Amino acid sequence: MEIARLLQLRTGETVIQIRRMLEVEDRPEVLDEIWLPGARFRGLSAERLAAYSGPLYGLFEAEFGTRMIRATERLKAIAADAALARELDVAPGSPLLLVERLTYTYEDRPVELRRGYSVTTNHHYYNELI
């Protein structure tokens, strides 16, 4: 499995998957799919996620002792398949921006794989390099 390979998991290790939707003015804009190593984030549940009001990385650090220190990202233009179109309320074939992020903690250990599917109608990706 690609996810287990990217997170450097051994056969049989568990993975936690989080799916969340970012909405702007009650319209879906970004669908995030996040995978985390189950052993490192044992006890993470939908209820804990819903109860936490800050950024996810704050939760990961405060409650699981995992600090994200660097990430790599790859961006790709894709067409919405039927499932993504339905979830993001766009027509099948609509352009989406896929941002795939692999986040690392100390000792260069990958601890998060994130795929964000963004509707491109009203928004664009912005990154400031200093």
Domain assignment present for residue 126? The answer is no
Give the per-residue pLDDT at 22.
93
CATH assignment at residue 74: 3.40.1410.10
Give the per-residue pLDDT at 87.
97
Domain assignment present for residue 129? The answer is no
Domain assignment present for residue 128? The answer is no
Contacts of 86 (CB under 8 A, 6+ apart): none
Domain assignment present for residue 38? The answer is yes
Q: For the chain, what is the domain count? A: 1
Domain assignment present for residue 127? The answer is no
Domain assignment present for residue 125? The answer is no
Give the per-residue pLDDT at 1.
60
Give the per-residue pLDDT at 126.
80
Q: pLDDT of 21-48, one tens digit each?
A: 999 999 999 999 999 999 999 999 999 9
Domain assignment present for residue 99? The answer is yes
Give the per-residue pLDDT at 116.
97
Plot region of 39 (φ>0 → left; ψ -120 to 50 → alpha; else → beta): alpha
Domain that holds residue 105: 2-119
Kindly give the parts of the chain with pLDDT less than 50.
none
